[in-house]
Amino acid sequence: MLPFKSCSSHAKEPLELIQSDVWGPAPILSPFNFKYYVLFIDDYSRFTWIFPLKQKSETIHAFTQFKSLLENQFNKKIKGLQGDGRGEFKPVQKIAIKSEIQFRMSCTYTSQQNGRAKRKHRHVTELGLTLLA
């Protein structure tokens, strides 16, 4: 395997780059039968939005909700979106391109390229376990 260069790029303004990833399946269903979630991280502020999902295929609906929320709340458009190359992001990529959002795809199963989202997953799960303890 080839080594990855460390990336120190950082967005210079809000919504310049949104990083996203889907987590799951959870070993136990939530009370509302959710077993996945998708998170969206603003690369500038690191603010994170989490949308629970019953199936990975709901990622497209979560993204359209998220996009609408941001455009209405901040009166600003997303400039770039980064997701991994897995199937749940294929429909998201189509909507992003239609909306003139630059879509960056990291290679599947390379956490080095989507490290911020992977670290956020770990943070969310550890926080949840702490709250349950």
Token readout for 128 is 């949840």
Strand partners, 121: none
Q: Stretch 62-86: mean pLDDT, rounded?
A: 92
Residue whose C-alpha is closest to residue 95's, from 60, 69, 43, 70: 60
For residue 59, pLDDT over 80 is answered with yes
For 80-113, what is each residue's pLDDT tens digit?
999 876 788 889 999 999 999 999 886 555 554 5
Q: What is the pTM of this model?
A: 0.81
Residue whose C-alpha is closest to residue 37's, from 18, 13, 53: 53
